[in-house]
A and B are shown apart, each in its own frame.
Chain A
Amino acid sequence: MLKFTEDHEWLAMEGDVATVGITRHAAEQLGDLVFVELPEVGAVLEKGGAASTVESVKAASDVYCPLAGEIVAVNEEILADPSLINRSPQGDGWFFKLRLANADDAAALMDEAAYLALVG
């Protein structure tokens, strides 16, 4: 099940664990990324808490935690090569895996059609 937020993140749900990344639209808007900072594995984050930072040549942008939960894995490959996010934002360029505090929370998020309608 693929879900989206208004903050341009995607969540791929497997049981109560969401793989989280930024959308293709967000990656295009940010431009070539040169640095990424990821949360610590084990960090417990609230919905809307600062989870990651991505930086282009020009600017730094925060990536927010889409739902409350615990970070259970991070994508070390994007630390070594942030351009992977631009090349594959909704695939190999994922950011982290989040064990949701409440697995039902994801149901309220947008599906792909609703997200694509939002970004036009």
Chain B
Amino acid sequence: MTLTEDLRQTPLTAFNIAHGGRMVSFAGYEMPVQFPDGVLKEHLHCRAAAGLFDVSHMGQVILRPKAGRVEDAALALERLVPVDILGLKPGRQRYGLFTAQDGGILDDLMIANRGDHLFLVVNASCKVEDIAHLRAHLSDDCEIEELTDRALIALQGPDAEAVLSVLAPEVVDMRFMDVADVTLLGVSCIVARAGYTGEDGYEISVDASHAVALAEALLADMRVLPVGLGARDSLRLESGLCLYGHDIDAATTPAQGALEWAIQKVRRTGGARAGGFPGADIILPELETGAARRRVGLRPDGRAPIREGAVLFADESGGEPVGRVTSGGFGPSVNAPVAMGFVATDHSGTDTPLFAEVRGKRLAVFVSPLPFITQRYKRS
């Protein structure tokens, strides 16, 4: 297949094509939307065994403190991100958000304490802006380096531990959100026990020159199938995880996005390091008062999937919109359509009946808790 756009490739593009990936344009990269098994089987296989994902399009960034103390990098990054980074222990990572002066979310990211530096993974679609943002605000305290010569491979699913431990037995001892240097096939990699599927699993940052050998070795295990972006999306949606640019964006505050859990007490009003990040004057009061609208799960009553953009109403006919679907589709593991979206807070209670307009008809949906599946992270 030829793509006419000038798309960037990852270290695994040829690998993806060789394994039958149907390649599409995504965030400026040529990426596999699915492999020959198709979205449905890839999704179900990832929840039953293990799936291999190329997520090398994501941005990998190092913040190295100029004075040599990782605490300086942590405190510097806390000026842009409303989470407790100083309290993040070496070898641990956590979820964070870049916020804007108006309280909106500029991107979401993972932040790891690597002992003498911080390691960030940011969204492909935002990475240029994110790195410019870091350089503009943190250059006095940190060297900011984008790692452009590395691949990122996700191995997800209940068999991920058994598969990866064939190459490195010590990965068994990692727990959810641990980050460690692990030698795989003779090459030192950065391995995090985390992912974007709701399953146990790992994300592996590996030097570009060794990415194909590692991916082939993992895929050679009978328990592993390659998984494309299509199933990556249905897996994360069932797991209630946000997709930046869809479920959260610059017009969404953390409280609207139901991401209060990401802002630890120490950064909230009354905390030891309260505020001090862009939009704190809007974001922090909203954590106390609640926002006027809120991201919720939506469970369609029928079999018809309800997709992004569908408008939500309180009544079967007439009335003003009370919300909008931000992600929606069919959940293969739930075996039913699933969605999430924003609704006015007085319609956000679990089991509130709403109606989504699809092809001119209003279809019944119910507000649902997230996630739609039981997350199976290895927490202990």
Q: Is A56 within 8 A of B304, CB to CB?
A: no
The count of A-to-B residue pairs whose CB atoms sit within 8 angstroms is: 47
Say which residue of A31, A37, A59, A60 sits within 8 Å of B38 (CB atoms).
A31
User: Bound complex: CA of A94 vs CA of B233, how far in Å?
Assistant: 30
Contact between A35 and B34, CB atoms less than 8 A apart? no
A31-B34, A34-B305 as given contacts; A58 in contact with B233, CB under 8 Å: yes
Kindly state the separation between the CA atoms of A62 and B330 in the bound complex, as whole angstroms: 17
User: B234 to chain A: which residues have CB within 8 Å?
Assistant: 57-58
**Cβ A58 vs Cβ B39 within 8 A:** yes
Q: Is B307 in contact with A35, judged by CB distance below 8 angstroms?
A: no
Complex partner residue of B230 from A35, A50, A55, A57, CB under 8 angstroms: A57
Question: What 1/0 mask marks residues of chain B from 221 to 234 whose CB sits below 8 Å from any chain A CB?
Answer: 00000000011011
Chain B residues near A60 (CB-CB < 8 A) = 305, 307
* Best-buried of A32, A37, A50, A58 by chain B (most CB within 10 Å): A58
A53 touches B (CB below 8 Å) = yes
Interchain nearest-CB distance for B144 vs A (Å): 36
A45 to B227, CA, bound (A): 40
User: In angstroms, how far is the closest chain A Cβ from the Cβ of B32?
Assistant: 13
- Range for the number of chain A residues in contact with chain B: 10 to 19
Q: How far is the CB of B301 from chain A (nearest CB, A)?
A: 13
Q: Find out whether the CB atom of B39 lies under 8 angstroms from the CB atom of A32.
A: yes
A57 touches B359 (CB 8 A): no
Which of A53, A56, A59 has the most chain B CB within a 10 Å cutoff? Answer: A56
Q: Is the CB of B307 within 8 A of A34?
A: no
On whether the beta carbons of A35 and B233 are closer than 8 Å, the reply is no
Residue of B39, B41, B231, B304 near A35 (CB, 8 A) is B304
B41 to chain A, nearest CB (A): 7
Contacts of B329 in A (CB 8 A): 57-58
Residues from 216 to 245 in B contacting A, C-beta threshold 8 Å? 230-231, 233-234
Within 8 A of A (CB), among B170-227: none
User: In chain B, what residue has the closest Cβ to A80?
Assistant: B303
Q: Return the contact of A55 from the options B33, B38, B233, B304 (Cβ within 8 A).
A: B304
Q: Are B337 and A56 in contact (CB under 8 A)?
A: no
Complex alpha-carbon distance, A57 and B39, angstroms: 7
Pair B303/A35 contact, Cβ less than 8 Å: yes
Chain B residue, CB-CB nearest to A56? B39
